Amino acid sequence: MERKILLSEKEIPEQWYNIIADMPNKPLPPLHPGTLEPIGPEALAPLFPMELIKQEVTTDKYVTIPDEVRHIYSIWRPTPMFRAYNLEKLLDTPAKIYYKYEGVSPTGSHKPNTAVPQAYYNKMEGVKKITTETGAGQWGSALSFACQHFGIECEVYMVRLSYDHKPYRKVMMNTWGAKVHPSPSEATEIGKKILAEYPDTTGSLGIAISEAIEVAAKDEHTKYALGSVLNHVKLHQTIIGQEAIKQMEKAGDMPDIVIAPFGGGSNFAGLAFPFLRLNFDEGRNIRCIASEPASCPKLTRGVFRYDFGDTAGMTPLLPMYTLGHDFVPAPIHAGGLRYHGAGVIVSQLLKDKLIEARAHDNLEVFSAGVKFAQAEGIIPAPEAAHGIATAIAEAEKCKQEGVSRTILVNLCGHGNFDMKAYQDYFAGNIVKHELTQKEIEASIAKLTTPLIP
Amino acid sequence: MERKILLSEKEIPEQWYNIIADMPNKPLPPLHPGTLEPIGPEALAPLFPMELIKQEVTTDKYVTIPDEVRHIYSIWRPTPMFRAYNLEKLLDTPAKIYYKYEGVSPTGSHKPNTAVPQAYYNKMEGVKKITTETGAGQWGSALSFACQHFGIECEVYMVRLSYDHKPYRKVMMNTWGAKVHPSPSEATEIGKKILAEYPDTTGSLGIAISEAIEVAAKDEHTKYALGSVLNHVKLHQTIIGQEAIKQMEKAGDMPDIVIAPFGGGSNFAGLAFPFLRLNFDEGRNIRCIASEPASCPKLTRGVFRYDFGDTAGMTPLLPMYTLGHDFVPAPIHAGGLRYHGAGVIVSQLLKDKLIEARAHDNLEVFSAGVKFAQAEGIIPAPEAAHGIATAIAEAEKCKQEGVSRTILVNLCGHGNFDMKAYQDYFAGNIVKHELTQKEIEASIAKLTTPLIP
């Protein structure tokens, strides 16, 4: 069989899949932090276009992808699936390993899958400018690319630490015409206030979100966009898993285990939800595993309760697996996975034991990344290497047990902009990070938010 | 029609195409710099395995690609061809523009096309270690990747300036197990000698070549590898154009104009030679244009005569278009195109007016690169942007003349490791570089090498 399983552009799925329709227990509603009453979609109207708000709350099983979005998707989609023959050989495993490769997108990750429809719906509703935050820069790059296609102005608040350390991500955003501010910035009230108080701060994602929201809230032609966590973001990413099902069928195979890295949930949701649909609709038993960093283990060691989505406690309360909203993860290189909580859909699925989770130490992650690069040729982003670590662990288990299983992993992005991380690994500067039970309990104990009934 | 024209792995060509068989005037022989007598292939034996030497001088029209090489090619080949609909729209041109994208390879350029067979033939002949030089790092990365696959040790001498300025290329080579020395280094006699004399030197490709050759010449199990200029390198790259012909046929089209960037010639040869075969065999009139930097215009402003391949004058004398072997091009970002001469096959073809050449200023090149990134999503390497500049110029000519022509360009690599170049461009630090006729004449006037009879 060939290494690459390719689809034609005609095979780009025509609908996104909404797992909420099939969930036995629907996610609990978000609560107003003051009244503790459920809040409705109207609360989102100042920040998001109406069509995205509808998608956020819809219970329809499928949502049609606009032709214009499918047309832009075709710049890089369908993405290839690979059979990892070389990795299988390196591991000497009876397992069959496949990977779906999202790194072929213009920005090198899965993020444009949602950036493009978000920019599209904003355009349709006459929005002139979109603001957003970015940490490592993947999301900011994706939104810049998408906005440039629709002629929408894009303003990115980039955490000062990344702005200074990752200048090339900023250049990439500039190439697609975006304006990038180091955050905190002088461009917003909240930014000015923080700079006055802490002139030397390196910023945080929480601050950058506040700045982006402030700008969007002030102007009726400006909206805000988010790259993970929310339901509509997960919805858009299901394009990945739906293509993957077609590709597995083409290969005459079907995964026993589906694996993806886990930050806010959009990466995992993108690959896994369409396979979970097969479990729901066809009674299959496909195991879906979310791979998280041991230094930010909300799924494997967090609690399931209401918590804020941001550090400052300004969002609605969301029912999620969390480490506490002011938990500060170690500064690992997989910046995309450093988030204290899990999106509400994934949290409910984990609670209901419909998915699994697994945590990996940083050293194990980079060892997996290097093995993959040596065998398959692609140097994975540190985020992607978490999924590979789980895949390798499962393949080794197959070897020990003497059974063959089919494993599919989401290679969500390449590491071309992350070579500093590999440099640190080779130099021995990446160390095992032990997070004690005490530290986790201390962070959770600070929570005063409601428990899940 | 779809944007992407894809081939299956079964369609990877089974032979490389050797244009020498079809050339009306064969390239003149290399000369011994002392005796000025033609030299034979045996002179290459200490440095290259016998099979590559045979390929260097063969007059067979086709050379079979070993199955093992085709198997490794299948990691990234066949590479996709794209119809650049968005660029056509941006330029508002009646031209049809296609690009063949070599940036999907593990190292992000066309270089692995020859690195893999070179490593393979060395392995077959029991070679334990391969040495090479690298400037910007593309070739060093490709050879590291290839050697790692065959379990051959790889030692790269990287020009000190690039070693210091492009640490991430070094990390990439390390990821595939290569040892990278800044050149000049303490590891060789010539390196030590130069360091003693010029302790602060930033190195040069000429010095790095000398170091790599010194190490290879000293040990019978160690050989040397070169990433461009030589005939066998051009031969291996014809995989690009042969795939491209199949893809154009699949698209129901055929190019009027084929364009590729020009450094030593392997990139251009790779795409263009198989189309020139159609001119020879089928009497077609496909124009093939080599795109070079205005700051290093050997094809458009150089002379055709015997010259050395290296700066120090240690190689055989080669019949080539040259600016003089000690011509020092301006430090443009397209490091891969900063070479004083053209390979012998391409030189003869240009002399015989079977191909064309065109030079572009640096500012025009980056303007083309940004236009391409905005339209097509891929940020091109500065080398690749030269070809795009020619394609845009030809498409604009079509618009002026009101005719449609089909243009095919070799997008030889992505710019993910070249964002510093775009940063400089956006900051206004890239300026028009005027090379006067006097400067060129002065460099050529220094030559004492033989004229072509």
Do A374 and B4 count as a contact with CB atoms less than 8 A apart?
no
Point out the residue among B2, B105, B175 whose CB comes nearest to the CB of A379. B175
Tokens 């060129």 sit at which residue?
B440
Interface check A32 vs B, CB under 8 A: no
**ipTM of this complex:** 0.94
Residue A196 in this model has a pLDDT that exceeds 90: yes
C-alpha A181/C-alpha A119 separation (Å) is: 20
Q: Chain A residue with minimal CA distance to B371? A: A175
Collapsing DSSP to helix, strand or coil, A225 comes out as coil
User: What's the average model confidence in pLDDT over A234-244?
Assistant: 98
Give the whole-number percent of chain B exceeding pLDDT 70.
Answer: 100
Phi-psi category of residue A283: left, alpha or beta, with phi > 0 → left and psi -120 to 50 → alpha: left
| Cβ partners under 8 Å of residue A12, min gap 6 | A70, A73, A74, A77, A78, A239, A243
Cross-chain residue pair A75–B3, CB shorter than 8 Å: yes
In the stretch 293-332 of chain B, residues with CB closer than 8 A to chain A read: none
Which H or E run includes B87? Answer: helix B85-91
Can you tell me the mean pLDDT for B381-389? Answer: 97
Residue A222: beta bridge partners? A129
The minimal CB distance from A172 to the residues B76, B171, B419 is found for B419
Q: In the prediction, which pLDDT does B432 show?
A: 85
Average pLDDT rounded to a whole number, residues B224-250: 96
* AA identity, residue B69: V
Instruction: Using a CB–CB cutoff of 8 Å, tell me whether B10 touches chain A.
Output: yes
**What is the fold of A67-108+237-445?**
Rossmann fold (3.40.50)
Q: pLDDT category, B210, cuts 50, 70, 90?
A: confident
Kindly write down the DSSP assignment for every residue of B355-414, as one continuous string: SEEEEE-HHHHHHHHHHHHHHHS--B-HHHHHHHHHHHHHHHHHHHHT---EEEEEE-BB
3-state secondary structure B193-217: HHHHHCCCCCCCHHHHHHHHHHHHH
At residue B81, does pLDDT exceed 90?
yes
Mean pLDDT of A7-35: 96
- A258-267 pLDDT, tens digit each: 999 999 899 9
pLDDT at A392: 98
**C-alpha span between B333 and A346 (Å, rounded):** 46
- Enumerate residues 202 to 261 of chain B having a beta carbon within 8 A of any beta carbon in chain A: none
CB-based contact A145 B108, cutoff 8 Å: no
Q: What mean pLDDT is reported for chain A?
A: 94
Q: Is A171 helix (H, G, I), strand (E, B) or coil?
A: helix
- The residue with greater pLDDT, A167 or B252, is B252
Measure CA A204 to chain center. Answer: 18
pLDDT of residue A342: 94
Contacts of A423 in chain B (CB under 8 A): 167-168, 171
Determine the Cα–Cα distance for residues B79 and B412; give it in Å rounded to an integer.
Answer: 11
Q: How far apart are CA A33 and CA A448, in angstroms?
A: 11
Mean pLDDT of all residues in A156-173: 91
Q: Does A145 touch chain B (CB under 8 A)?
A: yes
What is the C-alpha separation between A178 and B365, in angstroms, rounded? 21
Has residue B311 got a pLDDT over 80? no
Where residue A179 falls among pLDDT bands split at 50, 70, 90? very high
Selected residue with higher pLDDT from A161 and B236: B236
Cβ-defined contact of B75 to A376 (cutoff 8 Å):
yes
CA A369 – CA A414 distance, rounded (Å)? 10
- Spatial neighbors of B445 by CB under 8 A, at least 6 apart, are none
- Using the Cβ of A446 and the Cβ atoms of chain B, whether some distance falls under 8 Å is answered with no
Q: Which residue, among A76, A78, A74, A88, has the nearest Cα to A1 in the 3D structure?
A: A88
Q: What percent of chain B has pLDDT over 90?
A: 83
3-class SS of residue B115: helix
The predicted pLDDT at position B12 comes to 98
Our measurement of the distance from residue B283's CA atom to the centroid of its chain's CA atoms, rounded to an integer in Å, reads: 27
Separation of CA A433 from chain center = 23
**Number of Cβ atoms within 10 Å of the Cβ of B129:** 17
pLDDT at A28 over 90: yes
pLDDT surpasses 80 at A338: yes
Q: What is the model's pTM?
A: 0.95
The residue among A61, A63, A39 whose CA lies nearest residue A51 is A63
Q: In this complex, which of A108, A376, A426 lies closest to B174 when CB atoms are compared?
A: A426
pLDDT of residue A229: 87
**Rg, Å, chain B Cα set:** 21
d(CA B81, CA B156) in angstroms, rounded, equals 32
- Looking at residue A435, its amino acid is L
CA distance A86 to A67: 38
Is B64 near chain A, with CB under 8 Å?
A: no
